[in-house]
Structure 1
Amino acid sequence: MRPAFAVGLVFAGCCSNVIFLELLARKHPGCGNIVTFAQFLFIAVEGFLFEADLGRKHPAIPIRYYAIMVTMFFTVSVVNNYALNLHIAMPLHMIFRSGSLIANMILGIIILKKRYSVFKYASIALVSVGIFICTFMSAKQVTSQSSSSENDGFQAFAWWFLGIGALTFALLMSARMGIFQETLYKQFGKHAKEALFYNHALPLPGFIFLASDIYDHAVLFNNSELYQVPVVGVVVPIMWFYLLMNVITQYVCIRGVFILTTECASLTVTLVVTLRKFVFPVTITFQVLVCSFKSSTIFALYSGGTFYYK
């Protein structure tokens, strides 16, 4: 029952979250830092009050393991973002990140000595062929679009090849993080809420480096048009209302992901997270038809709007 409930949280939370994320990005495209900070702060405060009992509850899993998980996640995020500067097209970037199923299965066989059914091996083989074809065509596109100079063409291809290496490293690191979580839960028991709290509380000091950008967008949010919240009747700047709804739906989504990690194998969690990405375009398309949003804004949001999970 809990896995089904968790999957429901993931799809309901994430698909509604992307709508409010688009509303924020449509008005202020560079608001990613304040959105991410608000999400992390909300989850950390909620966990500090109700899970950590104001710091009085000792964690069941040693904090050093959570520090390792946070370091892995930070590394994956930085490498994935930096790969976009290395002649990596956005479609290839998205396809590579969706290839986490392959990496998870490979590392599961190597590290956990797992064995899977023939159908799973066949499915992963088909995904691998798709990624190979997309990568090969992307390489040809980089070569054809480069300058007529042979040196410039080789340099562009070299940067692209480095980008592929970066994406591959991030893919394997992400899969390793999932297996690391699975191993921890087997060793120390299932503690989804505790993991949710520490994985969002420990990175908070890092937002100090983004304080200036977060403050600038907070000022912009304050200057947005006023909006009367339904039922409650409180009048607030509309951007803060969108941010609040984004944070709440994000909490529902990520809570479902962390429950799922305690109930299912890492490969199953990766599958659900991957399927979630395919539902996003449907959600956004529906929103476009209803609200007549510009397609360029939608694509920018979808390609860059997966803030946190595998």
Structure 2
Amino acid sequence: RQFPGCGNIVTFSQFLFIAVEGFIFEANFGRKRPAIPIRNYFIMVAMFFTVSVVNNYALNLNIAMPLHMIFRSGSLIASMALGIIILKKRYSVSKYTSIALVSLGIFTCTFMSAKQVASESSLNQEDGPQAFLWWLLGIAALTFALLMSARMGIFQETLYQKFGKHSKEALFYNHALPLPGFLLLAPNIYQHAVLFNQSELFQVPVLGLTLPIMWFYLLMNVITQYVCIRGVFILTTECTSLTVTLVVTLRKFVSLIFSILYFQNPFTGWHWLGTAFVFVGTLMYTEVWNSLGPLLARRRRPKEE
């Protein structure tokens, strides 16, 4: 929040950390050949890098963090739409109902945020139209990233079907290959590194080390992001897609609540309603109700007897 445009240095740090860890423990210092042809990883990485950068840059376009997170939670919509178009898939009525709920939730939050931007901009007539145009550009960026992310998911699905699932390998190459691309963002990364150095000093508990607090925040972000994304990649191979989707959805929801409480972002009753639509719609998509039904029925039988 102190440095709204620091998304690039955060992303670069995350990519660098995961790439170094993967180079040592997965690629065995480059001696291990990839199970999936490297050209496929280049395609995947181009998509992954684009999605990450565009999502981060959207925060500079008058997009509030809660809206950013809610919008990204609509990945189910994009995945279903592209699945129908590209893979010729067909879905049940409950799936389409969940899509409608998620779409309604995103529309509600987007519309209410647009009203907030308009009301805030009205305080300054010179910046009003410009602020709203930047907001529209941010929505366009989020939409593009949403569709690109869904296309990447379909591409990954076809790769895993053809070559088998290699989560650790995919995690490494998805973060190592894009590193040269950050040279294009070097001025911005360096600028924020200087700003981080100028932040107030902070003494790390237990260790007793003193460093600028923004570097401490960045370190904590990198570590938690690594644990999170490593867990997601492992879940894709160890658990069903239902479990993975449900866990990721709950993580997004908890992150949303934390963002609202910690950063004190404006969040009206309409935003809560939209969030509820997104959350319930996502649960419907994962068919969690069908899984819970038999479980609850089994628990009721002993009581009835």
Q: Where on the TM-score scale, by shorter chain, does this alignment land: which range?
A: 0.5 to 0.7
1:34-183 matches, cutoff 5 A? 34-80=9-55, 93-133=68-108, 166-183=141-158
- Contact 2:5–2:57, Cα closer than 8 Å, also in 1: no
Deviations 1:126-175 (A, max 9, x none): 2223344556677788899999xxxxx99999987776555443322211
What CA distance in whole angstroms lies between the structure 1 residues aligned with 2:197 and 2:117? 43
Match of 1:227 in 2: 203
**Structure 1 unaligned regions, length at least 5:** 1-24, 148-152, 289-293, 299-310
With a CA cutoff of 8 Å and minimum separation of 6, indicate the structure with the bigger relative contact order: 1
**Structure 2 unaligned regions, length at least 5:** 123-127, 268-305
Q: Which amino acid aligns with 2:145?
A: A
- Contact 1:100–1:270, Cα closer than 8 Å, also in 2: no
Following TM superposition, by how much is the alpha carbon of 1:198 offset from its aligned partner in structure 2, in angstroms? 0.6
- Contact 1:72–1:177, Cα closer than 8 Å, also in 2: yes
- Contact 2:65–2:259, Cα closer than 8 Å, also in 1: no
Following TM superposition, by how much is the alpha carbon of 1:263 offset from its aligned partner in structure 2, in angstroms? 4.8
When residues 216 and 185 of structure 1 are mapped into structure 2, their CA distance, relative to the original with a 3 A threshold, is: same
What CA distance in whole angstroms lies between the structure 2 residues aligned with 1:170 and 1:261? 22
Matched residues, percent identical? 77
Q: Which amino acid aligns with 1:32?
A: G
Match of 1:295 in 2: 264
Count how many residue pairs are aligned between Structure 1 and Structure 2.
260
What CA distance in whole angstroms lies between the structure 2 residues aligned with 1:193 and 1:32? 25
When residues 103 and 205 of structure 1 are mapped into structure 2, their CA distance, relative to the original with a 3 A threshold, is: same
RMSD (CA atoms): 4.0
What CA distance in whole angstroms lies between the structure 2 residues aligned with 1:29 and 1:199? 25
What CA distance in whole angstroms lies between the structure 2 residues aligned with 1:246 and 1:84? 17
- Contact 2:71–2:142, Cα closer than 8 Å, also in 1: yes
Query: Is 1:190 the counterpart of 2:165 in the alignment?
Result: yes
- Contact 2:54–2:142, Cα closer than 8 Å, also in 1: yes
Following TM superposition, by how much is the alpha carbon of 1:222 offset from its aligned partner in structure 2, in angstroms? 5.1
Q: Secondary structure at the match of 1:237?
A: strand
- Find 1:258's aligned residue among 223, 227, 233: 233
TM-score when scaled to structure 2? 0.67
Match of 1:13 in 2: none
TM-score when scaled to structure 1? 0.66
